[in-house]
């Protein structure tokens, strides 16, 4: 057995590549809150192809009008890297594949690859389908054979394979054998319930690879036990040559295997080729782009591509990383298109302040009095509820004030807000009156907005327009967040507001804290606009 395992591992590690089969557009959209229009699906498919994904599963033709439209649109797309796959089921019982309308829809989609799922767990066959075990095997064989005879590459998804194998390994293998006899190019082993352990996956995959040495074996893992990534890697270590998964782990229940982690693990840890040369450096951008299309908040703690994946907060960690990144980083973040970040908080040490200052082209010695002053100020502000982790622009302003490098662009004289409800069916109207002083010149403006922050933003822009018109046109407010700092105080609690703005080149965030949400918002808004103007200057 030891000789066999050694030979198998040698086979795995000398393989030229592992193909990535992306099912974001089908399995991923079964996740809660994930939905794409047909046009968005096409946009995602183009992006995945551009990245270098080998297979893109587009959906189930005939199951809904959106997927029908998508496959019609996709017929006019020339994919450079990917094979587009249509997804469906084996034929119905007691009906030839050639007479099954659902199978015919798969042919009509005109994709080079068709993936169908079938039952490999005997319990599902007898208790869910309520058919004979032999009839199920014939359904698999006949469906795959029909697809191959119609010049389609056929992939068989063995649904619930691992659970089925553990209950009845002979029948689970028989289901795979039916697909192989039908002409399947790839057999995908599905951990549909997501409850299998990596050790079990490795052992079972080895048995399947030994049984079907001339067919590509894929792994299709779900994350119900938090093991989808580990199970996918374990499968590849034991002979699987294809991984099925989704970008960012989108999928039903707890999600599918997250290819944003699997791809760099296989490429950088195991030396297995998954995507074209240079594509890995675009992984972080792809992850965040897809979250934007799906209108989802990115998971900052996601391995490899999350904003916090290479973020360092403790002063001891920052000091060590600046001397040698290997001390607290398992790989160079640039390899996956991410970047190192040093977070500023009450836990930060002098090294964190110095590194941040270097980023802003401010030369500080670790023991300079300014470093201690900034640290003390950060501790005071964070005690009040401030957080600079997501407001680096506010920290840069604080640092420049401590260094005497801050240029005040305008001073607030005062503002007033009026919120008027003009009828039970009408939206409230907010009016902001604002007075600021720029270089001794007073500007007084009135503006309306959809809410207090919008009205204040409009009024401030009107007031500053005569002084910074060209610069203001480039600054756009892009996000606004409110967090309660001390929720135990109820409606008297302090709130923290984060405002994100952007120009043509970059984005930045600022923070404000107060027991008055308007005051907190104004503080963040004023810093955001002032920071943007200083960038332009």
CATH classification of the domain holding 303: 4.10.430.20
In this structure, are 334 and 197 located in the same domain? no
The structural domain count of the chain equals 4
CA-wise closest residue to 419 among 427, 410, 409, 429: 429
Q: Is residue 357 part of a domain?
A: yes
Q: What percent of the chain has pLDDT over 90?
A: 58
Domain end point (choices 252, 272, 292): 272
DSSP 413: E
Contacts of 489 (CB under 8 A, 6+ apart): none
Task: Report the alpha-carbon distance of residue 535 to residue 502 in Å, rounded.
Answer: 11
* pLDDT band at residue 356 under the 50/70/90 scheme: low
In this structure, are 140 and 64 located in the same domain? yes
Domain end point (choices 366, 383, 406): 406
In this structure, are 153 and 236 located in the same domain? yes
Q: What pLDDT, on a 0 to 100 scale, did the predictor assign at position 495?
A: 84
pLDDT of residue 6 exceeding 60: no
Q: What pLDDT, on a 0 to 100 scale, did the predictor assign at position 437?
A: 92
Beta bridge partners of 273: 17
In this structure, are 171 and 70 located in the same domain? yes
Q: Is residue 78 part of a domain?
A: yes
Where is pLDDT greater, at 406 or 358?
A: 406
498 with 480: CB under 8 angstroms? yes
Task: Report the alpha-carbon distance of residue 33 to residue 340 in Å, rounded.
Answer: 30
Q: Is residue 12 part of a domain?
A: no
CA distances (Å), origin 159, targets 90, 221, 253: 11, 11, 16
Strands 83-89 and 113-119: parallel
In this structure, are 253 and 337 located in the same domain? no
Residues 328-341 pLDDT 10s: 889 999 999 998 87
Q: Is residue 14 part of a domain?
A: no
Q: Is residue 260 part of a domain?
A: yes
Q: Is residue 10 part of a domain?
A: no
Q: What is the mean pLDDT of the chain?
A: 86
Q: Is residue 237 part of a domain?
A: yes
Q: What is the CATH number of the domain that holds 465?
A: 3.30.160.270
Query: Which segment of 144-148, 195-199, 257-261, 362-366 scores lowest on mean pLDDT?
Result: 362-366
In this structure, are 518 and 435 located in the same domain? yes
In this structure, are 501 and 448 located in the same domain? yes
In this structure, are 337 and 352 located in the same domain? no
Task: Report the alpha-carbon distance of residue 418 to residue 434 in Å, rounded.
Answer: 12
In this structure, are 453 and 325 located in the same domain? no
In this structure, are 95 and 227 located in the same domain? yes
pLDDT of residue 486 exceeding 70: no
In this structure, are 176 and 213 located in the same domain? yes
For range 58-83, the mean pLDDT: 92
Beta bridge partners of 498: 481, 511
Q: Is residue 16 part of a domain?
A: no
Q: What is the CATH number of the domain that holds 231?
A: 3.20.20.70
Q: What is the DSSP string of 452-469?
A: HHHHHHHHHHHHHHHHHH
In this structure, are 428 and 383 located in the same domain? no
* Domain interval for residue 465: 411-536
Domain end point (choices 355, 381, 406): 406
Top mean-pLDDT range of 171-180, 340-349, 370-379? 171-180
């Amino acid at each position: 057995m030891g000789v066999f395992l050694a030979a198998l591992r040698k086979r795995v590690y000398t393989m030229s590549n592992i193909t990535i089969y992306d099912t974001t557009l089908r399995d991923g959209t079964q996740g809660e809150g994930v939905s794409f229009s047909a046009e968005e699906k096409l946009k995602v498919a183009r992006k995945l192809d551009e990245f270098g994904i080998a297979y893109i599963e587009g959906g189930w033709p005939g199951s809904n009008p959106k997927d029908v439209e998508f496959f019609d649109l996709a017929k006019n797309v020339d994919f450079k890297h990917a094979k587009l796959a249509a997804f469906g089921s084996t034929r119905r019982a007691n009906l030839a594949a050639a007479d099954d309308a659902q199978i015919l829809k798969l042919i009509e989609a005109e994709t080079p690859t068709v993936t169908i799922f079938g039952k490999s767990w005997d319990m599902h066959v007898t208790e869910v389908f309520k058919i004979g075990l032999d009839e199920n095997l014939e359904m698999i064989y006949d469906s795959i054979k029909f697809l191959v005879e119609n010049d389609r590459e056929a992939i068989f998804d063995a649904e619930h394979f691992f659970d089925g194998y553990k209950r009845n390994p002979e029948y689970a293998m028989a289901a795979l054998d039916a697909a192989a006899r039908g002409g399947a190019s790839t057999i995908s082993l599905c951990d549909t319930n997501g409850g299998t352990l990596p050790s079990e996956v490795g052992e079972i995959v080895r048995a399947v690879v030994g049984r079907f040495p001339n067919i590509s074996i894929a792994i299709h893992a779900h994350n119900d036990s938090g093991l989808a990534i580990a199970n996918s890697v374990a499968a590849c270590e034991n002979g699987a040559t294809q991984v099925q998964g989704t970008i960012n782990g989108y999928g039903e229940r707890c999600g599918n295997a997250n290819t944003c982690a699997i791809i760099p693990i296989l490429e950088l840890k195991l030396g297995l080729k998954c995507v074209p040369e240079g594509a890995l450096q675009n992984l972080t951008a792809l992850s965040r782009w897809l979250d934007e299309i799906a209108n989802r908040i990115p998971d900052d703690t996601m391995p490899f591509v999350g904003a916090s994946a290479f973020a360092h907060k403790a002063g001891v960690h920052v000091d060590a990383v600046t001397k040698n990144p290997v001390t607290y980083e398992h790989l160079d973040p640039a390899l996956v298109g991410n970047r190192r970040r040093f977070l500023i908080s009450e836990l930060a040490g002098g090294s964190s302040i110095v590194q941040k200052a270097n980023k802003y082209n401010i030369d500080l010695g670790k023991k300079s009095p300014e470093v201690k002053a900034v640290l003390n100020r950060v501790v005071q502000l964070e005690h009040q509820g401030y957080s600079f982790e997501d407001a680096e622009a506010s920290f840069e302003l604080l640092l420049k004030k401590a260094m005497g490098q801050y240029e005040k662009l305008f001073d607030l004289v005062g503002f007033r807000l009026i919120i008027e409800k003009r009828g039970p069916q009408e939206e409230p109207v907010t009016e902001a009156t604002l007075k600021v002083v720029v270089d001794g010149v007073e500007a007084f403006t009135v503006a309306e907005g959809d809410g207090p922050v919008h009205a204040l933003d409009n009024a401030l822009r009107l007031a500053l327009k005569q002084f910074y018109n060209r610069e203001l046109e480039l600054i756009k407010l892009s996000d606004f967040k409110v967090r309660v700092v001390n929720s135990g105080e109820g409606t008297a609690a302090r709130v923290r507001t984060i405002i994100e703005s952007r120009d043509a080149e970059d984005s930045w965030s600022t923070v404000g804290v107060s027991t008055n949400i308007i005051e907190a918002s104004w503080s963040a808004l004023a810093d955001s606009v002032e920071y943007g103007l200083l960038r332009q200057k």
